[in-house]
């Protein structure tokens, strides 16, 4: 059985095409999860709306607690780390991480960065071995294949790899760097573009993105059945 962790990071609470100023990235994550469950209704989903309920920012107390060995932590430290523990447990349980993330000012929403900061934690999702001088960091989530599906929305065009504005897109590259660091290595990226242009250009982009979501679900369903890991998409 496959377990999905669905994250929505958009500040827009509704769905594009249904609600005023609705979110395209929320549409894509909903489509992915619904299509997946159409194929595999017994599979399970944890839903977390970090756009509506942002994770906490890390603080001085959090840093002190996170870098104190578990057997030396004081009770207040465990309380400070409780939210991080819950988010990490949700991530560890997931086989597929579905992230709805609009491109805000060339990067990820602050709520998603806060989530990243809470799930990348020493001795929970990554270890440090000072004897390995070239690469002392050891990912802890690489003991089984996990997939990260990044479903984004952008105001303009050309932010995809090889595009004219790819150098200004720090959303997907930052997510890939952070998640690879803890051991998630299978990535899939789909985006709606032309939100600023609107009209037919946006409609065509939405249609293409939705078609790619359908195809990706089919692809990962095959992976699920064959138990093989696809190459980076």
| Residues in the annotated binding site for FMN | 10, 23-25, 153-156
**C-alpha dihedral sign at 202, 18, 147, 88:** positive
What is the dihedral angle through the alpha carbons of 107, 110, 115, 118, rounded to the nearest 10 degrees? Answer: 110
Beta-carbon neighbour count of residue 53 at 10 Å?
8
* Alpha carbons within 13 A on the beta-carbon side of 96: 27
- Write out the H or E segment, with its range, that includes residue 114: helix 110-119
Task: Cite the annotated binding site by residue number.
Answer: 10, 23-25, 153-156
In terms of Cβ atoms closer than 10 Å to its own Cβ (0-12, 13-18, 19+), residue 118 is buried
Query: Which of 190, 227, 225, 196 is CA-nearest to residue 100?
Result: 190
């Amino acid at each position: 059985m496959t377990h999905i962790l669905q994250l929505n990071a958009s500040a827009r609470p509704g769905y594009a095409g249904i609600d005023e100023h609705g979110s395209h990235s929320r549409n894509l994550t909903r489509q992915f999860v619904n299509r997946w469950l159409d194929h595999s209704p017994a599979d399970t989903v944890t839903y977390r709306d970090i756009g509506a309920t942002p994770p906490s920012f890390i603080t001085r107390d959090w840093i002190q607690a996170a870098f104190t060995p578990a057997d030396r932590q004081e009770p207040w430290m465990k309380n400070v780390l409780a939210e991080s523990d819950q988010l990490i447990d949700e991530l560890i349980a997931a086989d597929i991480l579905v992230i709805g993330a609009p491109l805000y000012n060339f990067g990820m929403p602050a709520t998603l960065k806060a989530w990243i900061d809470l799930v990348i934690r020493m001795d929970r999702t990554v270890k440090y071995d000072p004897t390995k001088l070239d690469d002392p960091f050891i990912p802890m989530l690489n003991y089984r294949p996990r997939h990260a599906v990044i479903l984004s929305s952008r105001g303009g065009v050309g932010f995809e790899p090889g595009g004219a504005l790819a150098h200004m897109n720090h959303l997907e590259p930052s997510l890939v760097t952070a998640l690879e660091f803890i051991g998630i290595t299978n990535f899939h990226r789909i985006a709606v573009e032309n939100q600023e242009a609107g009209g037919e250009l946006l409609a065509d982009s939405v249609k293409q993105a939705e078609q790619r979501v359908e195809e990706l679900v089919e692809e990962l369903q095959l992976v699920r059945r064959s138990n093989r890991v696809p190459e980076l998409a």
